[in-house]
Amino acid sequence: MLLRWKKDAGLACLDYHGSVGRFSYPEHRHRGAWELLLVLSGTVEHTVNGERLEQPAGTATLVREGDRHQVAGERIEFANLGFAAGVVAALARLPDGGGRALAALRKAPGPLWCRIPAAELERLKAALDALDTRLAAAPAADAGLHLLAVLVPVLLGCHARLAGAAPAAAPGWLEPVQALLRDHDRPVPDLAGLRRLAGVSAAHLARSCRRHLGCSPSEFLNRCRVQRAAVLLKGRRELTVAAVAAACGFADRTYFAWCFRRALGVSPQAWRTRQELVDAREVDPWQHG
CATH number at residue 66: 2.60.120.10
pLDDT digits 0-9 by tens, 164-208: 655 456 678 888 888 887 777 788 889 999 999 989 888 888 888
Read off the pLDDT of each residue in 152-168 and give the average, rounded to a whole number. 70
148/182 same-domain check: no
133/198 same-domain check: no
Read off the pLDDT of each residue in 23-49 and give the average, rounded to a whole number. 88
Would you say residue 283 lies in a domain? no
Determine the Cα–Cα distance for residues 97 and 104; give it in Å rounded to an integer: 11
Contact 48, 42 (CB under 8 A): no
134/178 same-domain check: no
Residue 168 has a pLDDT of 55
How many domains in the chain? 2
Does the predicted model carry a pTM greater than 0.85? no
Higher pLDDT, 163 or 76: 76
Of 112, 142, 165, the domain-final residue: 165
141/43 same-domain check: yes
Would you say residue 2 lies in a domain? no
Would you say residue 3 lies in a domain? no
- Comparing CA positions, the residue from 9, 51, 44, 13 lying closest to residue 30 is 13
Q: Of 88-92, 140-144, 238-242, which range is least confident?
A: 140-144
Q: What is the largest CA-CA distance in the chain?
A: 64
DSSP code of residue 66? T
- Please report which confidence band the pLDDT of residue 278 belongs to, taking 50, 70 and 90 as the band edges: low
184/140 same-domain check: no
158/187 same-domain check: no
52/181 same-domain check: no
Of 137, 165, 193, the domain-final residue: 165
pLDDT > 60? residue 283: no
20/158 same-domain check: yes
Of 130, 165, 200, the domain-final residue: 165
25/149 same-domain check: yes
pLDDT > 80? residue 268: yes
Would you say residue 62 lies in a domain? yes
78/103 same-domain check: yes
Question: φ and ψ at 25, to 5 degrees?
Answer: -125, 125
Name the pairing type of β-strands 59-63 and 33-41. Answer: antiparallel
31/160 same-domain check: yes
Determine the Cα–Cα distance for residues 12 and 96; give it in Å rounded to an integer: 25
Determine the Cα–Cα distance for residues 226 and 222; give it in Å rounded to an integer: 6
Residue 78 has a pLDDT of 92
Residue 141 has a pLDDT of 62
Q: What is the CATH number of the domain that holds 200?
A: 1.10.10.60
Would you say residue 122 lies in a domain? yes
- Comparing CA positions, the residue from 168, 220, 215 lying closest to residue 190 is 220
Residue 6 has a pLDDT of 44
pLDDT > 70? residue 239: yes
Q: Domain range spanning residue 255?
A: 172-278
Contact 144, 86 (CB under 8 A): no
Would you say residue 289 lies in a domain? no
159/256 same-domain check: no
**Percent of the chain as helix, strand, coil, to the nearest 5:** 50, 20, 30
First and final C-alpha spacing in the chain = 36
Would you say residue 6 lies in a domain? no
Would you say residue 96 lies in a domain? yes
pLDDT digits 0-9 by tens, 41-70: 999 999 888 888 888 899 999 999 889 899
Helix (H) or strand (E) holding 195: helix 191-198
Q: Of 25-29, 55-59, 136-140, 197-201, which range is least confident?
A: 136-140
